[in-house]
A and B are shown apart, each in its own frame.
Chain A
């Protein structure tokens, strides 16, 4: 035996170690589950970390009300198969009872509103450690975030007051009311995620793979025509057309764009990812385009 782990084996082993540290040292962990590929991988690794037990903590889904139906169906099937508890935080309910106010624009994104609902659900559940599928390669602000990232009692992140994080010795100490966001996939890249999905045969929502769909172009991105994203009347450049597309991330339908692609399997997606010249967030997330520092701002406020 060579006693060597492949890079995926090393990343998986690290993630399992992190998850087990949380289960051992926290009282009320939970896992943020969007139905996206990163959270699918996270859930898969969590199941391995806890085996032969079932995952002993709930998964939290913040439902913007603008989700792809395929993603909701996927979420429900995963939860049922694995026998885990699902906690849904509904942005729509928070809007209906006046806790948050939606911008009075048709099809306005609810991406930023999610933060309120997320923090409310975390506070109500008293969760002290919340797993997220965030990766450091996604965005520059994330490149500096710790694996165990402390949030104050208002759910805020202070990038300048982060604790040093050394070896694999995670400092989990916190005051009542504070919680940790824990990112076991911090060191994974998009390519690692796809390679792992392929080798572990992890099921994903169908929208990740090439399919025909009616889309239109806005600000250089391809958006699906649907109840929340309607091409503006009379704008020639927003004329809808049919295309073969897939999604690289699954977020709010109002701000998640498709990419033209014929990749119908993880293997084909790996081929495209290895050759791609536009980053995952740049290609498909309108919410990151507001300013160069937009992710940092949202993270400080308590975003995922």
Chain B
């Protein structure tokens, strides 16, 4: 069974929590005791119906304020797939949560209210999803019951959003008319909207093709640990490199080169959790042994001699800033990229991206909380990276404040050599 990770986004009033509650409830993932707790709370709050949104509003502060304040993860499965939902809050201040939710997602579900149509926030979420390399976008046009299941209204919204999405890198856009409250087109096809001949949301989630989204071309293996069990005598010669294949495929007998040293060797053996294998591929945690004894440490990377990432200390990246105190040129931070930590200093801020209009404000002098912008960075150690759009695993990094240890930024590498202000 395959795993699909998706993020959900929408405004507080778009009915997102209701939709998730409905997906969990209709796919029978909500247990009787959980439902009873929700029923009790609904009655106590004076809700007129069983408020399925309460199934997902986890923390006490959220229940009190009636908003979702942080990314929450939900799980459900059908006979076809297992799903992990990153439920991200729709509140305007929380772009960082959307970035977080998208970072591990294959697909994003956006909700709009059929009465209102796409809002600034819809566009912002779509932009963030596109920047984060999400290939599949699903626009759920919710509350169709409140516009009399009107086909023309649906088509208007679809057209309006489609025009916006052509400016983004969205490979696959699906629009679904829906009533999460009444369950229309969530799990089962709607009886009210016979004019819609597409799949229900759940059906689409079960069938959308995601296995081609992975990068199986460019072999990258960041070394997590060097394993040398010297204490046990029968293994004293053992030396292996533990890690998760970031992208690509590697086979026993392949020639590899070690970054940054440039030493070459050949793959002698590959051990997976299930035992030795001839070949390993992206996302597998393995242990690789080489034919030569080389000086390799954590943070190094194994790649193919004919297909190397960019190696460099002068970096250009799109950064989402996640801290209350703004990012300004000259800032000194730590970066974690693959399994490598380094120190960086922020050079220029090339522009701040207005995620509502896609306008690039090159007069900006700082990035505030939830801002996105393009910056140049100088790293103490060389990093081995690819453009994020080609390789999520080697194209992403996080920035850490050295005084507070807080995670203050998320970054995506752009094409090396790209001109500031040019395409990204």
A positions within 8 Å CB-CB of B:
1-7, 9-14, 16-17, 20-21, 23-24, 45, 48-54, 136-137, 140-141, 143-144, 159-160, 162-171, 173-175, 186-187, 189, 191-192, 276-279, 282-283, 292-293, 296
Contact = CB atoms under 8 A, between A and B. Distances in A.
A53 B227 contact: yes
B227 A52 contact: yes
A277 B31 CA distance: 5
A205 to B, nearest CB: 24
The main secondary structure of chain B at its interface with chain A is: mixed
B37 interface: yes
B398 interface: yes
Given A159-B70, A164-B96, A169-B398, A293 B84 contact: no
Interface stretch (B176-184, B281-289, B354-362): B281-289
B229 A52 contact: yes
Given A1-B281, A3-B282, A13-B283, 19 more contacts: A3-B249, A9-B273, A13-B273, A16-B244, A16-B285, A20-B285, A24-B298, A52-B235, A52-B240, A144-B58, A159-B70, A162-B70, A163-B407, A164-B407, A169-B336, A186-B73, A187-B75, A279-B31, A292-B41
A9 B41 CA distance: 38
A276 B182 CA distance: 25
A189 B103 CA distance: 21
Nearest to B299: A24
B74 interface: yes
B185 interface: no
B33 interface: yes
B60 A160 contact: no
B59 A159 contact: yes
A137 B215 CA distance: 30
Contacts of B410: 164, 166
A203 B118 CA distance: 53
Contacts of A192: 82
A170 B405 CA distance: 12
B75 A282 contact: no
B225 A292 contact: no
B138 interface: no
Interface string B58-98: 11110000000111111101000110100000000000110
A160 B61 contact: yes
Contacts of A9: 273, 284
Given A48-B273, A293-B60, A166 B103 contact: yes
